[in-house]
Amino acid sequence: MNGLVRIVRGRILSFRDDPRLTGASAHRLIEDGAVRIENGEIVAAGDARAILTGAPPDAAIDDWSGKLVMPGFIDAHIHYPQTRVIGSYGAQLLDWLQKYTFVEEQKFADVSHCEAVARFFLDELFRQGTTTACVYCTVHPQSVDAFFAESERRGARMIAGKVMMDCNAPIALADTPQRGYDESKALIARWRGRGRLEYAITPRFAVTSSEAQLEAAGALAREHREAYVQTHLSENFAEIAFVKRQFPWAKTYLDVYARYGLLGPRSLFGHCIHLEESEVVALARSNSIAVFCPTSNLFLGSGLFDKKRLDEASVRVALATDVGGGTSYSMLQTAAEGYKVLQMNGQSWPSLQAFYQMTLGNARALGLQHRIGAIEPGREADLVVLDSRATPAMAHRMESHEGDLAEELFVLMTMGDDRAVRQTYVAGRAVKAG
Ligand code: GUN
Ligand code: ZN
């Protein structure tokens, strides 16, 4: 891409703020717009005519006129070793982990398996328009090396970490407090801040970590303030009961993580469904992030995320697929299921808010809003091109559309999936295969 100017023309849609708070002024749509990209960065965005007039004669021009061009989607919680766990029948969380997930994750002892799955996984994210993700690897450091190496090769902005787990898991998947600490530390040294890569300290969840291991995770978080922390919280009733038995001194599930210093503005807690009031308060006070994983919560029968309660308590929220508990890699489908989950609680989710969440909202949750999540000069050129008439049924539905953006976006999330993603750009390069 060096030296080359690329122009991506289309209907440029980007958020500057949260539409829940600032309404219609939160987004900007340029119907005949264009983005100018140089060296993987957006250098200008505006009216197509102005951008094209200023372009050098040898600029590459990708004309997506009529299609929406948005910032690439961000998935705030996903497991790359679970690409062959997705769609496993009939179990709730703890049984599902034992029966399917822990079996599959053992295969990641083999480096060539890690590499092959990392390639498939990134191909699939890009096909779905996802350009950044917070990724759980397995307990094997080689699973992290393989994932980061492949992400680096593709120039993608990714956050990932080695799962730490030293109890209540098969021997082949268990580390120890010291090994989990040493291996994570070495991975942080090797990968964090290298190009577009960031590290997440990843104690899987309180069920599979001893006190000594959680203490080691807390030490890592103290020693590496620039790293993220990711784990699971209050997803399932049996899980919560297990945690209360394992840590009898803890007043709540979140108390376990709080005791070891694992809360904070870079800490992502997957699920957060069955929270006690004091947990909501602690999440808000610590500026931690609650990650909404709707397809997973429905598929594993876990429960309904209460977004309104968390919004009202000023808890930061992100949106994620949680594949392979989640059933789709598509952030569009994830938003659609999120809408339905909220409907079950008498809550709603306007499409503009959902698209904000998939882009700038998740970027803010990750503290990356100055790099990704918006189409603005200086941001990295991660983009998705969306076609709201991608399938016969969508085209048919759009025949009664009267030009309202919110309605079009709602059709896109309700009926759209990878077929609606016409192209994905990562650092200015077109990357959607097939
Ligand atoms: N809790 C601990 N591990 C997992 C996992 O892999 N998936 C989900 N959904 N929940 C978990
Ligand atoms: Zn998960």
pLDDT at residue number 434 = 62
CB 236 within 8 A of CB 279: no
What is the pLDDT, as a whole number, of residue 1? 45
Which ligand has the nearest atom to the CA of 303? 1
392 and 53 Cβ atoms separated by less than 8 Å: no
Atom number in ligand 1 closest to CA 208: 2
Question: From CA 186, how far away is CA 207, in angstroms rounded?
Answer: 25
Predicted structure pTM score: 0.98
**Backbone torsions φ then ψ of 311, nearest 5 degrees:** -60, -45
Band of the pLDDT at 428, cuts 50, 70, 90?
very high
Question: Residue of the nearest CA to atom 3 in ligand 1?
Answer: 204
Q: Which ligand is nearest to the CA of 76?
A: 2
Residue list, ligand 1 pocket, CB within 6 Å: 79, 93, 97, 101, 204-205, 232, 235, 296, 322, 325
% of the chain with per-residue pLDDT over 70: 99
Residue 59: CB atoms within 10 A of its CB come to 16
Residues 162-193 pLDDT 10s? 999 999 999 999 999 999 999 999 999 999 99
Angstrom distance (rounded) from CA 140 to CA 380: 31
Nearest to 291 by CA among 321, 314, 312: 321
Q: In what order do the strands lie in the sheet with 60-71?
A: 41-47, 27-38, 5-15, 60-71, 383-386, 421-426, 429-430
- Ligand 2 center to 396 CA (angstroms): 36
Closest protein CA for atom 7 of ligand 1: 325
61: helix, coil or strand?
strand
Which amino acid residue places its CA nearest to atom 11 of ligand 1?
232
Q: What is the DSSP string of 327-362?
A: S-S-HHHHHHHHHHHHHHTT----HHHHHHIIIIIH
Which residue is it, tokens 């492949």? 150
Q: What is the pLDDT of residues 392-423, one digit of tens each?
A: 999 999 999 888 999 999 999 999 999 999 99
Instruction: State the Cα–Cα distance between residues 365 and 134, nearest whole angstrom.
Output: 11
- Find the 114 Cα to ligand 1 centroid distance in Å: 19
Q: Starting from the CA of residue 235, give the closest ligand.
A: 1
Cis amide linkage into residue 324, ω under 30° from 0: yes
106-137 per-position pLDDT tens digit: 999 999 999 999 999 999 999 999 999 999 99
Phi, psi of 148 (to 5 degrees): -65, -40
Nearest 5°: phi and psi at 284? -65, -45
Helices (H) and strands (E) in the chain, counts: 18, 16
CA of 45 to the centre of ligand 1 (A): 40
Residues 68 and 386: beta-carbon distance below 8 Å: yes
